[in-house]
Amino acid sequence: MADVGELEWLDIVVIILYFVFVLGVGLMASKFSNRTTLGGYFLASRSMHWSLIGASLFASNIGSGHFIGLAGSGAAGGIAVAAFELNAAFVLMLLGWLFVPVYVAAEVYTMPEYLKKRFGGQRIRVYLSCLAILLSIFTKISADLFAGAIFIEQALGWNLYVSTLILILLAALFSILGGLTAVIWTDTLQTVIMLGGAATLTAIGFVRIGGYQAVIYEYFNAIATTVIMSNESECGFPPDNSMHLMRPADDPQLPWPGVIFGMFVSGVWYWCSDQVIVQRALAAKNISHAKAGCVFAGYLKLLPMFLLVMPGMVARILFPDEVGCADPDICEELCGSRAGCTNIAYPRLVLELMPTGLRGLMMAVMMAALMSSLTSIFNSSATIFTIDIWTRIRKNASEVEKMIVGRVFVIGLVVVSVLWIPVIQANTGSQLFDYIQSVTSYLSPPVCSVYVLAIFWSRTNEKGAFTGLMLGLLLGGTYFIITFVYGVPECGEPDTRPSFITKLHYLYVGLILFGISILTTVVVSLLTERIGEEHLYRLTFWSRHSEEERLPLDDDNDDDDNTPASVTESVGSEPAEPSFTRKLLNFVGGIQSEAEMWRAAKQLRQELAARAELQAEDTQKLPEAANAIAEQPMYMWLCNANAIAMMAGAIFLWGFYA
């Protein structure tokens, strides 16, 4: 049977058919979806069922980067990395019980919209927009490209940068042919296949080794031949505490104070203030469905330790010389990285253990999930830059100018992200997930502090929040740059980095930055003018049930939706339809024809008229807004009971593996 690299012809056929299917779904969805309404997305009714919310929260978080990162960290140091997944189960309860009720009571659809109502002004919005773009480059786009390139490199034997180029071209194809819409239709299918495939692979791996106990025993003996023959360094050996979640405070991988407190900071930032995550919870039918969705996602987050982390340990047992290599020269020859090869753990398992056909399907689903993730990030980053930054520079920019700027910005994003990949290779210490979490710990704590104070301390004002954000960015950004300038020493080399890098774990850094940002925000807020209570009704946790009429802040009525002025004027008669060729060019370029823009303007006028009617009834809506977070007692107790049961399961795993 002919092979193509490590994949057989049947696997290649399955991959091609799967991509054709996804692209076909995307084309059909694009054809029947409403692509012309500017306000339709935010005006859509909240109608998602709890099961869809939970699956969507999980799918939005788990991607091919997690398959590479969690399995790679499991191969390198055991189960400790699963603490991030177990921690998320608890933070999701904070999202459902503390944060979402405030967002719903405030009647917001986006996080910038909440901060605009809470603080007023534009400074915080622009800052968070810039930070979102930076995090997209350093932790999402470059990491996803790196992870996907590893899959292609292992499957087909192609060079890392050739694989990266293929990924970029595929992502562009997805964007043009409706890949973003296809995500909506295929997310659940991909999640089911990924979980089913991961469970199958885990079972096959455990059977191959001889069961769970054999995996635990054999892992400590999974040492590369070159490491056994050399006694010059300690690297290359599995840690003695590989089966422990709680490790000493000076542990180089995951110290227990950082696990308990530092993870909480980055977890709250990601799960409770990130737009991609929160938007899914806000789409719930009601607050009970939002809570139930968070509980369901919490249950799903208990699985990665067994479906991703432990398979990485299995990969090291089965392929110790490859996955467990420590000699920089040998590692570079095996996987192209001098820092180690644990990142290839999961691809090797898929390629070596999965049956023909299923192997191709598993590769296809993970690659499709990666494509969807990349196109979503490209789209959201371009939107953030165009709407939140470019329109501040050029207030009268035309629609065509915005579209051109957005596309040019995506090209710039890709270039910077590709240039950053060698830095990831040199600084991950062969663990992609470790890299992602470290960058997050350097940049996200100030944002977490602002959201926590905004919701739970009414005295927080815009000056305090902005000062805390700026100081946190200065300190975190400086530490981030210094850390990556020094890099990670290769196995056997002396570590010449300053002690504040070698002795201070990134989770400790995140905790320190969080504390400094909190303190700064509190002090500056107390020294400056407070925001009146009349501006804060239903914008804090303590006032979420208020039925008082909230007065907008002075500058809260800015034109914030970038609606063209022409929309509010007469739309005239409908223009003629363009030719077929012009339609095709417009579709590929994402440009609306005059006829499409006319229909969009007409529909938006209707929406604005409906919105004006609703705003005229503000006094009647106040009780409705306040009661939006009311729950029926039976559903409330059912959600509470399931939350307790889920957290009890997480606590049991913490205790069992502590």
> pLDDT digits over 291-333, tens only?
999 999 999 999 999 999 999 999 999 999 999 888 888 888 8
DSSP H/E element including 545: none
pLDDT the model gives residue 88: 95
* Beta strand segments in 374-503, E: none
Residue 347 domain flag: yes
Q: How far apart are CA 83 and CA 72, in angstroms?
A: 15
Long-range contacts of 246-250 (CB under 8 A, 24+ apart): 246/654, 246/658, 247/80, 250/503
**429 pLDDT tier (thresholds 50, 70, 90):** low
Separation of first and last alpha carbons in the chain = 48
Residue 430 domain flag: no
Residue 510 domain flag: no
Residue 131 has pLDDT above 60, yes or no: yes
pLDDT the model gives residue 144: 79
Q: Measuring CA to CA, how many Å separate 42 from each of 57, 279, 389, 542?
A: 19, 10, 20, 26
Give the dihedral of Cα atoms 153, 341, 479, 412; nearest 10 deg. 0
Those residues with Cβ within 8 angstroms of residue 506's Cβ, 6 or more apart along the chain or in another chain: 258, 262, 437, 438, 441, 442
- Say if CB 582 and CB 15 are below 8 A apart: no
Residue 300 domain flag: yes
Q: Which of 396-400, 494-498, 646-650 has the highest mean pLDDT?
A: 646-650
**160 pLDDT tier (thresholds 50, 70, 90):** confident
pLDDT the model gives residue 92: 96
Residue 559 has pLDDT above 80, yes or no: no
**Token pair of 524 as six digits:** 């500056």
Pick the closest to residue 579 from 600, 603, 595, 601 (CA basis): 595
pLDDT the model gives residue 599: 56
pLDDT the model gives residue 552: 85
Handedness of CA 7, 11, 13, 19 (dihedral sign): negative
Q: Which amino acid is at 59?
A: A
Residue 640 domain flag: yes
Name the residue range of residue 222's domain.
3-31+48-99+133-391+399-422+629-657
Span 448-475, pLDDT tens digits: 999 999 999 999 999 999 999 999 999 9
**569 pLDDT tier (thresholds 50, 70, 90):** very low
Q: How far apart are CA 243 and CA 82, in angstroms?
A: 11
pLDDT the model gives residue 650: 95
Q: How far apart are CA 375 and CA 176, in angstroms?
A: 10
If you search the block for the tokens 């029926």, which residue do you land on?
Answer: 632
Q: How far apart are CA 601 and CA 594, in angstroms?
A: 10
- Say if CB 57 and CB 92 are below 8 A apart: yes
Q: How far apart are CA 453 and CA 521, in angstroms?
A: 8
Residue 587: other Cβ atoms inside 10 A: 17
Q: How far apart are CA 125 and CA 135, in angstroms?
A: 15
In the predicted model, what is the mean pLDDT of residues 189-214? 87
If you search the block for the tokens 């959600």, which residue do you land on?
Answer: 639
Residue 209 domain flag: yes
Residue 385 is given by DSSP the state I
Residue 7 domain flag: yes
- Is-above-0.85 flag for pTM? no
Question: What is the count of structural domains for the chain?
Answer: 1
Those residues with Cβ within 8 angstroms of residue 32's Cβ, 6 or more apart along the chain or in another chain: none
pLDDT the model gives residue 2: 41
pLDDT the model gives residue 226: 77
- Say if CB 310 and CB 318 are below 8 A apart: no
Q: Can you state the percent helix, strand and coil of the chain, rounding each to 5? A: 75, 0, 25
Span 95-111, pLDDT tens digits: 999 999 999 898 887 78
Q: Which amino acid is at 474?
A: L
**282 pLDDT tier (thresholds 50, 70, 90):** confident
Q: How far apart are CA 511 and CA 6, in angstroms?
A: 44
Pick the closest to residue 186 from 353, 424, 9, 25 (CA basis): 25
Residue 634 domain flag: yes
pLDDT the model gives residue 363: 80
Residue 36 has pLDDT above 90, yes or no: no
Provide the CATH number for the domain around residue 328.
1.20.1730.10
Give the residues across from 7 on adjacent strands. 4
**Token pair of 391 as six digits:** 């329109």
Write down the mean pLDDT value for the chain. Answer: 79
If you search the block for the tokens 């644990």, which residue do you land on?
Answer: 342
**644 pLDDT tier (thresholds 50, 70, 90):** very high
